[in-house]
Structure 1
Amino acid sequence: MKNKISLKVNTDLTVSHQVLSWFEQINQPPIPNKEIWWQCQTLMIEGFTNIVEHAHKNLPLETPIEIEAVRLNEYIEIRIWSQGEHFDLEQQLQKTSEFEENEQARGRGLKIMSVIADKLSYKPTGDNRYCLFISKYY
């Protein structure tokens, strides 16, 4: 089984509900474990929010964010393409303290994503963009 869906939205947090309702399509047939599906939704919205608030923070609202979700037999892959500046995900995760010590909101989303995701990366692509890649087994 392979199901692939794509979406293009503006750099705008108000479309978060649209992103989540689009993402619902990938949950057909429903993943039996509701907690895993909730984690997948969390990864999607945290990833989208991070791109809007950090990678695209100095870019116009019209800057497109492309999102792709693929459901395979045992896992879901999420790819979110951004046009922001270089960002070292690994380095940021090492600098961000654990939840208990982390009083500032900055970096918490990344930490949540790194804990929930089975694979997480943010790499440059050949077309001057970056791809946030998230993979979650179900």
Structure 2
Amino acid sequence: MLKKIDNHNFHLETVSNLDEVENLLNWFEKQYQSHIPDKIWLQAQTVLIEGFTNAVRHAHEHHEQETLISLQLEINPHHLQIKIWDQGTFFDLTSALENLHTKISCNEIDLFERESQWGFIFFLKLRDEFGWSIDYTPAGQHNCMEFRSPNFYNI
């Protein structure tokens, strides 16, 4: 008999400080569920850290460290989704990713001299090679960066 897997939502609020990464990882690891493929779980862990780091370093670069970042992890039977809400200035992530993709394709960028672009390069790889969907939208006085894994059973 097949076991029914329910939807689960987990939330965390943390200050905008890179010292919180260890707490963030501990929180994330507590949410693990055995039906999630290891490859997806590892990608999601990296998404969480890159997305959080992006919010701290870029969205909140002119904010106090006490500025909150809200995180949500949704796990359902077929995929997982991570949402990260920041309080920074909105930007067009889709255009930024496409611009970077074009520069990489045309060899117009030296990846080893652009440490600040590595997170976006990782996001491009997730989207283009592993089937993740990535979006960044305004949500009231916040912005939401959303990552959705491919279907667990299609990988």
Same fold (TM over 0.5): yes
Find runs of 4+ consecutive structure 1 residues off by over 6 angstroms. none
Question: Is 1:40 paired with 2:59?
Answer: no
Aligned mates of 2:14, 2:31 — CA distance in 1: 18
Bigger Cα Rg: 2
For the residue of structure 2 that corresponds to 1:107, the secondary structure is: helix
Aligned mates of 2:64, 2:39 — CA distance in 1: 36
Instruction: List gaps (5 residues or longer) in structure 1.
Output: none
Q: For residue 16 of structure 1, report the CA deviation from its aligned partner.
A: 0.5
Instruction: List gaps (5 residues or longer) in structure 2.
Output: 1-5
Choose 8-17 or 105-114, whichever is displaced more: 105-114
Structure 2 match to 1:133: 146
For the residue of structure 2 that corresponds to 1:49, the secondary structure is: helix
Question: TM-score normalised to the size of structure 2?
Answer: 0.81
The two structures, once aligned, show a CA RMSD in angstroms of 1.7
Aligned mates of 2:104, 2:54 — CA distance in 1: 18
> Superposed, which structure 2 residues align to 1:2-21 within 5 Å?
2-21=7-26
Aligned mates of 2:64, 2:42 — CA distance in 1: 31
Question: Is 1:121 paired with 2:125?
Answer: no
Identity within the alignment, %: 29
Question: Is 1:70 paired with 2:84?
Answer: no
What is the aligned residue count? Answer: 136
> Superposed, which structure 2 residues align to 1:98-117 within 5 Å?
98=104, 101-102=110-111, 103-117=113-127
Question: TM-score normalised to the size of structure 1?
Answer: 0.90
